[in-house]
Structure formats: C-alpha cells, structure tokens
Amino acid sequence: MDPLLAAFLGALVGALVASLVLTYGRRRRPAPAVPAAALPERRTDDLRQVVKAVSSAAAVIGRSDDIVAHNPAALTEGVVRGDRVGIPALLDLVREVRRTGVAADTELHLNRAGRTPRHLAARVLKLDDDHVLCVVDDRFPTLRAEEATRDFLANATHELKTPIGAVSLLAEAIEQASDDQIAVRRFAGRIGTEIDRLTALVGQIILLSRLQGHVPAPEPVDVDAVVAVSLDRNRSLAERRAITLTTGGVPGLRVIGDADQLATAVSNLVQNAIAYSDARGRVVVTTRPEPDAAGVAIAVSDNGIGIAPADSERIFERFYRVDYARSRENGGTGLGLSIVNEIVSGHSGSITVWSKPGSGSTFTVTLPKAPEREGEG
C-alpha cells in the first residue's frame, strides 16, 4: 500500500479508536453527563469530525447503505452521490465488509466515456454493526506521472546510447587504423561531433528537469532585448546557411518573467526556423500586443519545409521528430520544443503553431504583459 495512505489510515483508525474509547468510557461513568438518547447523535458527530480531517475521500456508510458522514473530497471523487455510495463496485465491497467484518483493500479502474480515466485505491473497514468506513484515493494522476517519467527515462537512455555507441565504434576504428593518419583524423573529428551531440543532449535533459515545477521570478522583461539575444545566439548558424534574420512589429513591449528563460525559448524557436529552412530562407521575429492588451505575442516565422497537421500535434512531445535524420544532421535532440513549452507554461503563457508543408511555419508565444511603467499609458 502507498505509505501515505497507510499513514493516513493509521491516523484515522487511531482517531476512531480514541473516539470509541471516549464514547464507551463515558458510558461506563455512573452518572452520564449526556442523556442516553443523545449518544448515537454524538457518535455521528465524532465520525463527521474524523472524516472531515482526512484529506483522502472518506465516508462512513450506515446499516442501510445511507451516508452517515463524508468529507468534501468524497463528493468530488464521486464516492458519495446524493445520500448514497456513488460507485457501484465500492457499494458491493461495503456490503461484503459489513457482512464478513474483514477489512478490504481494492483498486477500482473507472473508465467512463468522455471522462478522465480514474484509478482508485480504496480501503473499506467495518467500525461496528452500524458503520462501515471507506477511504479512497485517486491514483490516476500519480500513475500517469510515473508512466511519463518511465517513458522519459526509456527515451533518454535510448537517445544517449546512440552517440555513446558511435564513440565506442569510432574509438575501435581509430585503434585499427593507427597507421593511417588521415583516417585517424577523420574518425577523431567524428568522435568530436558525437561528443558535441552528447553534451547538447545531456545539457537539454538537465535544463528540462530544472524547468519542471520551477516558477520563474516575476520580473518585467524587455521583449526587444529577449529577441536581440535570441537572434545573436543564432547569427552564425544563419550565416552558415545563408538565412536572413529580421525583426518586425511593435517595439518597446514588456512581459512578466525570467529574461534568461525567455531568451532560451525564443532562441530555440529561431534555431528551428533556421534548421528547417532551405538555404537562403528568411526568418522573421515579430512582436505585438494582443488585441485584448493583456498579453504580448512573439511570433517566429520561416518559409521553410513546414509541418504536416498530424505532426503539428506531436512536435511538443519530448524526443518527437518529424524527420529523425534531418534533426540529427542539424544537431537536434528532439527536446527543443518541449523546453519552449515548459518555459512558456511556467510563465502562464501559451504557444501555438501555424504551418503548411512546403510554405513554412509560424510559432507564436503569448506571454502576460508587464504593468505599465509609471508615467506611461
């Protein structure tokens, strides 16, 4: 069982036992302070208090399947619907536990059309002849995160193996060709390329993991400066491919965020725009305020190879590449757009792509606008 759930249950059962001891302790006193008729009422109140203190979905079910006590999470998780148990399989389990008195742990997979699938971990416990306790946790978000981590690790390992394998083969080739100086130089050069690839890949994996869950400092950032840094970082690549870099739109805009991260995001988009354009293409970075004036849009356009609609939906996935060979040839890692996506969502912004195969692509990042400086507006 999940250790957290175990701890919760431990605390819950402890509290219930304490509540029972208190109730029965009071009963044994010679002159009860509470009239006998009020005892069931008091017990229900105790149960309500205990159930309320639990962060998992929790409910106490009475003898005729009625809900005696429940917390708000029991409603959101659908454990309680109205005054009944909302999940038929859970109700079956409640009845079985009431009959046998044996506590049960179970996992329920709920996959209803049009709803997010749910994977519930439920514990059902008989408290006494009148009360059965259910504690339920939705494990689906945790399982999905675990699956995403597993996929990422598998992909990252696979991607790392390629250059490592190449380096080891090239090292062998150098050993075998030790008398041939020209071959040795050629193999050494290729080792250098593979090491560069490895360095880029490791650097991007580290960057991606640093960005996850990191909330950027909310500083006002000059958009023109972000664009200038991004273009500078890519100028020599553009020159090598005879690609023109230009800017346009409205200058002097400011957004809220982290200037370094934003420069990384725009720079990745410019790098892709160059990499996926044919020689002598044009890459334009345009800035403009959004029509509702709450945001600023930074658009990176190229007249390159474009992206088919089916691929446009997947290019933000980690390691996804439309053309693996072209990406590799450009020194791509398949992580550039995932990094952009992570940075933009960390800034409460959004990213959209327009593209047409053979015509080009425009990636537009929209970010929250910084408040006007005093004396402006």
Q: Which residues bind ligand ADP (CB under 6 A)?
A: 272-273, 276, 302, 304-307, 315, 320-323, 327, 332-338, 361
Pick the closest to residue 9 from 49, 58, 45, 46 (CA basis). 58
Which residues are within 8 A (CB) of 27 and not within 5 positions of it... i.e. 6 or more apart? 39
CB of 272 to ligand ADP, least distance (A): 3
Rank residues 135 and 335 by Cβ distance to ligand ADP and give the closer one.
335
Rank residues 336 and 349 by Cβ distance to ligand ADP and give the closer one.
336
d(CA 117, CA 30): 55
d(CA 331, CA 194): 10
Rank residues 168 and 246 by Cβ distance to ligand ADP and give the closer one.
246
CA dist list (Å): 64 to 51, 131, 271: 19, 10, 67
d(CA 164, CA 56): 46
Rank residues 71 and 303 by Cβ distance to ligand ADP and give the closer one.
303
CB of 62 to ligand ADP, least distance (A): 56
CB of 216 to ligand ADP, least distance (A): 20
CB of 121 to ligand ADP, least distance (A): 36
CB of 332 to ligand ADP, least distance (A): 3
Provide the 8-state DSSP code for 35. Answer: -
CB of 171 to ligand ADP, least distance (A): 26
Rank residues 264 and 366 by Cβ distance to ligand ADP and give the closer one.
264
Rank residues 332 and 346 by Cβ distance to ligand ADP and give the closer one.
332
Q: What is the largest CA-CA distance in the chain?
A: 105
CB of 203 to ligand ADP, least distance (A): 12
Strands 282-289 and 295-302: antiparallel
CB of 286 to ligand ADP, least distance (A): 15
Rank residues 295 and 336 by Cβ distance to ligand ADP and give the closer one.
336
Which two three-digit tokens encode residue 126? 């008989």
Give, for 330, the enclosing helix (H) or strand (E). none
Strands 295-302 and 360-368: antiparallel
Query: How many residues does this entry show for the chain?
Result: 377
Rank residues 291 and 309 by Cβ distance to ligand ADP and give the closer one.
309
